[in-house]
Structure 1
Amino acid sequence: MSGLARPAALAPFRIRNYRFQWPADLLTSWAFEMEMLILGWYVLVETGSVLLLTLFASLNYVGTLIAPMFGVVGDRIGHRDLLAMMRGTYAVLAGTLMTLALTGHLSPLYVFIIVAIMGLVRPSDLGVRGALVATIMPHDQLIGAISLSRTTMDTARIAGALSGAGLFAALGMGPAYVAIVGLYIVSTLLTLCVVAPPKPHPIDEVADSALRRSPMRDLKEGVAYVWTTPRMRAAIWIAFLANLTAYPLSNGLLPYIAREIYGTNQTGLGYLSASFAVGSLVGSILLSLVSGIRVARLMIGATVMWYGTLLVFAQVKTVSTAIACLMLAGFSQSLTMISIAVILMRTASEHFRGRVMGVRMLVIYSLPLGLLAAGSLIDEVGFAATGTLYAAAGLTLLLAIVLHWRADLWHLHAPANAK
C-alpha cells in the first residue's frame, strides 16, 4: 500500500559511494545550468537572432548520436572512470571559455565551437550517472536513489540559474566562469572518490579480448535488448516525444521568451528557469517519499499533465502566470523522467545498464531537432502558435503510444506497474 516513509527518504545516503556521487552530480549540474543560462543570454544579445539561439541550444546535444557508445565504454571500463574523464573534459573546455572571456577575446563563433565540442560529451552525463547509481544501489532503494539523484538537476536549475544570472549581471562573464571551472574540478575529484564496483559478471581473458575487438556488437546487442522489450521501447518513445515537443518550450527557448515575450532581463530569465526547477524539485522529493507507486501509470498521467500545462503556458502574457505554469510543468516532467528511468533500470540486466541508458540518451537528439524547428516556426507564426502546436501534437502522439502499448503500460499487473 502506498504511504509516506520519511526516514527512508534519505536511506540512499547510507551507502558510502552515493554520499560521494550525489554531491559530484550536484556540482556538475550546477555548472551545466550556469553555463546554459550565461552562454544563451550572451548569444542572444550578441547576435539578436532566435534562430542562432536555438542553434546554440541544439549544439549542446550533438553528442546524443554517439551516446550509446558511451554506454558501451561505461560497461567495459566502469561507469565511475568514464564519468570522471567526462567531467575533467568539462573543466578543460570551461577553462578555455574563461580564459577567452577574461582576456577579451570571446566571440559568438568561439562559443559555438567550444559548445559543439562539449556537446559531444555532455548529453551522456545523465545516462552514465544513472547507470552508476543503479550499480552502486540495492534494488529496493532504486526509486529513492534515482529520485534524490534527480534533485541534483532540480536544485541546479534553481541555484545554478539564479547564481549564474547574478554573477553574470554583477561581475561579467569572466568571473562567472571562474566559479563554473571550480565546480567542474571539485565534481571530478568527488567522482573519483566513488569506489568502482566490481563487474557483476566476470569474464575470462579470451571472452574479454573478443568483446574488446567488437564494440559495435555490444552496441547492437544493447539496441536490440531495448527494442525487443515492449515496456522499455514504450518508455523510450515517450522520452523521444518529450524531448521533441515539450523540452524546447521550457528549456532552450527560455532566453527568447524572457527577452521578447516578457521584456525582462537576465534576472527575469533566472526566475523563469528557477521556477521550472522548483516544481521539478518538489516532484523529485515527493516521489522519494512515496512507496508503492504504479510507475508506468504515473509516467502516463504526469506526461499528460505536462503537455496540458504547456498548452496554457503558450498563451500566457505575464511573468507571474508564466512562473506558475513553469512550476507545474517542472513538477510533472520530474515525475515523467524519474518514471522512465525506473522502468528502464528495473528492466535492464546489470551488464546491459550502460547500453540501455546510452540508448535512452540517444533519443535526446530529438531535442535539438525540436529546437531548430521551433526557431523557424516562431519566425513565421510566433511563439504562441508554435507552443500550442508542439503541446497539442505531443499530447496526441502520447495517447497513441499508450494505446499501442496499453497492455505493457496501463494494465495493473503489467511488470512496468509492479510495486
Structure 2
Amino acid sequence: METLILGWYVLVQTGSVLWLTAFGALQFVGTLASPLLGTLADRLGLRRVLASMRFAYAALAGVILLLAATGRLSPGAVLAVAGVAGLLRPSDIGMRTALVGATVPPQHLMAAMGISRTSMDSAKVAGALAGAGVVAAFGMVVAYAAITAIHLGGALLTLRADSGRHLPVAPVPGQAPAAPPSPWRELREGLAYIWHTPVLLAAMAVAALVNLTAFPLSGGLMPYIARDVFHLDQRGLGWLVASFAGGALAGSVLMGMVGGRLRPARTMLWGCGLWYLCLLGFVHARQPGLAMVLLAAAGAAQSISMLALSMLLLRGSDQRFRGRIMGARMLAIYPLPLGLLLAGALIPRIGYAWTAHAMLATGVLLAAAIAWAWRDALWRADAPGNLRAVPPA
C-alpha cells in the first residue's frame, strides 16, 4: 500500500520519472547495513530485531499520517521518510526468511517458505487494490491511518513468533567461557563463508542481477508505466501491481505444494529465464488486459525463482551463519536502486521501450554467464544445490 500510494503521489506532484525512481531508490539505502543487522539478529534473536524494525515502520507511517492530516505533506517530506525507512526495510525479507529457517524442521522448509511467501504475495494483491481504492475514495489520511495500524499489528504478531535464537554452547567445566567475537569479525566470517561456498556465491550473483535488470520494470517504474504508457489512473496502477503480485501468489502456492520435489538450483535458473521472457512480452504489450496477463506470468516466474534461491541459501548454509547470510543476501538488493536511477535517467533520453530492452538483454546475457561460470554448482543433477528435499514419487 505504501509503495503504491507514495509512488503515485510523487509522480503526480512532480511529473518526473526521475523523482519517481529516486523515491524507489531511497527505499533501499540501508541495503549496505543489512549484514550488520543480520549479525545483530544472530546475537539478540531474530524475533527481537524484526519486531523492533516493524515498530519503526509504524512510527514512520505515523509521520506521514500527521503530515497529511495537517496539510504539510510534500514530495520532499515523502522522500525524507522513504530514506529513513529505507535504512531498515531492505533487511526485512532476509530476517523473516532466516526466522522461518530457524523455526521450521528441514523436511518442511520448502512448504514453510511457500506459506511465508504466500502470505506476503497475498498481502501485495490486497494492498495494491485496497491502497488505490481507499485513497481514491477517502483520501491519504484514512489510508495512512490504516497503514499505521497494520504496521503495529505486524509488530505485535512478530513478538509472538519463535525467537530464532540458537542455544548457547555449554561451557567446558573448569574452563572460563570465551569472550564473544566482535560483530565485525562475525560479519567477516559470514562473508568469507559465502565467498568460499560456490552455490551461495552463485545464488547471490543471480539475486543481484535480477534486482538490477528485472525488478525495476515490475516494481518502482510501475506508476510511470501505468500513467504514461497505458494512460491509466491510480486504480489502473493498482490492478497492474495486483496482477504481478497475484502471479507471484500462484507461484508461491505452487512451490509450497511441489517445491520439495524440484531441483532448487535448476529451478532458480529456469524461473529467472521465464521471468525475463514474460517481461519482454509485457514491454511490447499495448493493451492493459494483455499486459496484466503477462505481468501475472512474470510474477509467478519471479516467485518460483526467488523461492528456489532462498532454499539454496538456507540449505547450503550452516545454521550459525543464517542471520548473517540472509543479511548479506539483502546486499544483493543494492543493484535495485541503481537500476531504478539508471532507468529514470535513460527513459527521458532514449524512451521507455529502448531502456527496457537494454535492461532485459543485459539480464539474459549475464544470467547465462552465471549459469555457465557456476555450472558445476547450479546445473549438475548430483550437485548439493540440486538435491531434492522430497524424493520424487
Q: Please, what TM-score do these two structures have when normalized by structure 1?
A: 0.90
What's the Cα RMSD here?
1.2
Distance in 2, matches of 1:363 and 1:67, equals: 10
**Which letter maps to 2:67?**
L
Q: What's the offset of the Cα at 1:301?
A: 0.6
- Is the Cα–Cα contact under 8 Å of residues 57 and 85 in structure 2 kept in the other structure? yes
1:263 partnered with 2:228: no
Tell me the SS of whatever aligns to 2:340: helix
Equivalent positions of 1:139-178 (< 5 A) are 139-178=106-145
Say which of 128, 133, 156 aligns to 2:95.
Answer: 128
Q: What's the offset of the Cα at 1:209?
A: 3.8
- Is the Cα–Cα contact under 8 Å of residues 245 and 390 in structure 1 kept in the other structure? yes
Say which of 285, 288, 292 aligns to 1:316.
Answer: 285
Distance in 1, matches of 2:99 and 2:365, equals: 34
1:379 partnered with 2:348: yes
Whichever structure has more helix as a proportion of its residues is: 1
Distance in 1, matches of 2:376 and 2:37, equals: 32
Tell me the SS of whatever aligns to 2:147: helix
Q: What's the offset of the Cα at 1:206?
A: 6.5
**Which letter maps to 1:251?**
G
Partner residue in 1 for 2:391: none
Tell me the SS of whatever aligns to 1:364: coil
Structure 2 residue runs of 5 or longer lacking an equivalent are 389-393
Tell me the SS of whatever aligns to 2:334: helix
Say which of 333, 342, 358 aligns to 2:327.
Answer: 358
Which moves more between the two structures, 322-331 or 290-299? Answer: 290-299
**Which letter maps to 1:215?**
P
Cα distance change of structure 1 residues 316 and 195 upon mapping to structure 2, 3 Å threshold: closer
Q: What's the offset of the Cα at 1:361?
A: 0.4
Partner residue in 1 for 2:5: 38
Q: What's the offset of the Cα at 1:203?
A: 6.1
1:51 partnered with 2:21: no
- Is the Cα–Cα contact under 8 Å of residues 155 and 277 in structure 1 kept in the other structure? yes
Partner residue in 2 for 1:287: 255
Which moves more between the two structures, 323-332 or 310-319? Answer: 310-319
1:277 partnered with 2:245: yes
Taking only the aligned residue pairs, the percentage that are identical comes to: 48
Q: What's the offset of the Cα at 1:35?
A: 0.3
Cα distance change of structure 1 residues 206 and 225 upon mapping to structure 2, 3 Å threshold: farther
Partner residue in 2 for 1:202: 169
1:220 partnered with 2:188: yes
Aligned residues, how many? Answer: 384
Q: What's the offset of the Cα at 1:156?
A: 1.8
Distance in 1, matches of 2:218 and 2:58, equals: 27
Q: Render the CA deviation track for 1:1-29: whole Å, top value 9, x for unaligned.
A: xxxxxxxxxxxxxxxxxxxxxxxxxxxxx
Cα distance change of structure 1 residues 66 and 208 upon mapping to structure 2, 3 Å threshold: farther
Q: Render the CA deviation track for 1:220-247: whole Å, top value 9, x for unaligned.
A: 1111111110001000000000000000
Q: What's the offset of the Cα at 1:193?
A: 1.1
Cα distance change of structure 1 residues 208 and 370 upon mapping to structure 2, 3 Å threshold: farther
- Is the Cα–Cα contact under 8 Å of residues 46 and 95 in structure 2 kept in the other structure? yes
- Is the Cα–Cα contact under 8 Å of residues 201 and 351 in structure 1 kept in the other structure? no
Distance in 1, matches of 2:288 and 2:115, equals: 29
Structure 1 residue runs of 5 or longer lacking an equivalent are 1-33
Q: What's the offset of the Cα at 1:198?
A: 4.6
Cα distance change of structure 1 residues 162 and 206 upon mapping to structure 2, 3 Å threshold: farther
Partner residue in 2 for 1:28: none
Tell me the SS of whatever aligns to 2:187: helix
1:83 partnered with 2:50: yes
Q: Render the CA deviation track for 1:362-401: whole Å, top value 9, x for unaligned.
A: 1101000000000111111111111111111101100000
- Is the Cα–Cα contact under 8 Å of residues 200 and 351 in structure 1 kept in the other structure? no
Distance in 1, matches of 2:270 and 2:257, equals: 19
Equivalent positions of 1:59-98 (< 5 A) are 59-98=26-65
Partner residue in 2 for 1:253: 221
Q: Which consecutive segments of 4 or more residues in structure 1 shift more than 6 A?
A: none
Distance in 2, matches of 1:294 and 1:65, equals: 31
**Which letter maps to 1:289?**
M
Partner residue in 2 for 1:9: none
